[in-house]
Chain A
Amino acid sequence: MRTRTRLVLATLGLVGVGVVLTRGMLAMPDAGRAADAYRTLVVATAVEDVGAANVVSAVLFDLRAVDTLGEALALFAAAAGLQLLLRQLSGDEDEHRARDAASDRREPTTSDAVRVVALGLVGPVVALSIYIAVRGHVTVGAGFQAGALAATALVLIYLAGRYQAMHRVVPEAVLDVGEGVGAGGAAGLGLAGLVVSGALFANLGGPGTFGTLGSAGSMVALSVLIAVEAAAATMLVVTEFQHQTLELRPSPR
C-alpha cells in the first residue's frame, strides 16, 4: 500500500473515531452524577438483602456473581491454554539444554537495594491480599484484586533474584490444584445456591450485621475462592513465561 493511501485511510479512521468518541463523551453525565433507576435499586438491594457495605463488591460477588464466574473461567481457560501451547513435547529437540546447563553460565546478579525492597514488601503484600480477600464486602476490592496481589507477592520474591525460592514457596503442583479448586469451588458455590434457594449464586448465610466481617453471607466465600483462582492462574501464566526464558529445561521423557 502506498504511503499516501495509508495516510488517507489513517486520517479517515482517526477522524471517525474522534467524532464518535467526542459525541459520546459530551452526551455522558458528569463523573459520579449519573442517576438512574438501576443504581437506586442496586444500592438498596446490596445494603438490605446482601448486607454488603461495598456495593461494587455486592454486584460482582452476589447480584452478578454469574458474570464473575464467567470471568474466573476465562482466566482459567487462558492459563490452561497457555500451558497447553507451551508444553514440552517428548519429540521436541532441546537445543538450549547444553547452554542452560553449562557450568560457566552467567547468572545475572540482583542489586542489594532491589533485593531488600522486594523481599521487604512480600510480607505486607501478602497481608494486604488476605485483608482484601476477606473484607471485600466491607471495604475496597475483593477476590480478583486479592488474587493479583498474592501473585505480586510471589513475583516480588522472583524480582529479588530468588527464582527457585519462589517455586519452593508455592510449587507448580500447588498452583494447578489452586486454579482447579478456585474455579471449581466458585461454580460449586453457585450450584449450592441453586440447590438451597432455587437461584444460581443465591446468597447463603443471610445479610448478617451490616459493616462487620461476618456480614454478606456466602459472598465472602466466593471472594476468597476467586482470589485463589486469580492468584493461581496469574502465577501459572507467569511461570510459563519463566519456563521459556530462565529454566534449566528437563530432559524430554
Chain B
Amino acid sequence: MSVVQTLALLLVAGTGTGVVLSRDPRHQAVAFGTFGGALAVVFLVFEAPGVALSQLVVSAVVVPLMLLLTVSRVREQDLADAATGDEGEEGG
C-alpha cells in the first residue's frame, strides 16, 4: 500500500469519527459530506474512478441535502407547534 493510499484511509478514519462525534444533525450533514469526499479520494487512489465519481455526487451532495431538508422540516414543525401551543402533536 502506497503512502497516498495510507493517508487517504487515515482521512476516512478521521472524518468518519468526526461524523460520529458531531451531535447536531446540521453539523452531521456537513461532516458526512466531508466523510463522503474522503471516501471518494480512497476509491480514486485505489483505482476505482467510476465509484469515486458516484460516491462524490451521492455522498457529498444528495444525501446531505436530504438530511438538511429533513432537519429543516422538523424544525419548522417545532416552531409551528410552539406558535400554536400544540405540544405533543405528531408531524404530518
Binding site for B on A (CB under 8 A): 30-32, 54, 56-57, 92-93, 95-96, 99, 132, 140-142, 144-145, 148-149, 151-152, 155, 234, 237-238, 241-242, 244-246
Please give the number of chain B residues whose Cβ is less than 8 angstroms from any Cβ of chain A in the complex. 22
Q: Please pick, from A145, A155, A246, the residue contacting B50 in the complex, using a CB distance under 8 A.
A: A145
Residues of B within 8 A of A142 (CB): 50
What would 5 more interface pairs be, CB under 8 Å, given A241-B65, A246-B69?
Answer: A32-B46, A241-B66, A241-B70, A242-B69, A244-B69
B69 touches A245 (CB 8 A): yes
Once the chains are docked, how many angstroms separate the CA of A56 from the CA of B47? 11
Once A31-B46, A96-B80 are accepted as A-B contacts, the answer to whether A155 and B5 lie under 8 Å apart by CB is no
B70 touches A234 (CB 8 A): no
Once the chains are docked, how many angstroms separate the CA of A31 from the CA of B6? 12
From DSSP, what is the main secondary structure of chain B's interface residues? helix
Once the chains are docked, how many angstroms separate the CA of A244 from the CA of B47? 39
Residues of B within 8 A of A54 (CB): 50
Once the chains are docked, how many angstroms separate the CA of A139 from the CA of B85? 59
Provide the B42-77 mask, 1 if CB < 8 A to any CB of A, else 0: 000011111001100110011001100110110010
A148 touches B50 (CB 8 A): no
Once the chains are docked, how many angstroms separate the CA of A141 from the CA of B57? 12
**Nearest Cβ on chain A to B86's Cβ, whole angstroms:** 9
B92 at interface, CB cutoff 8 A: yes
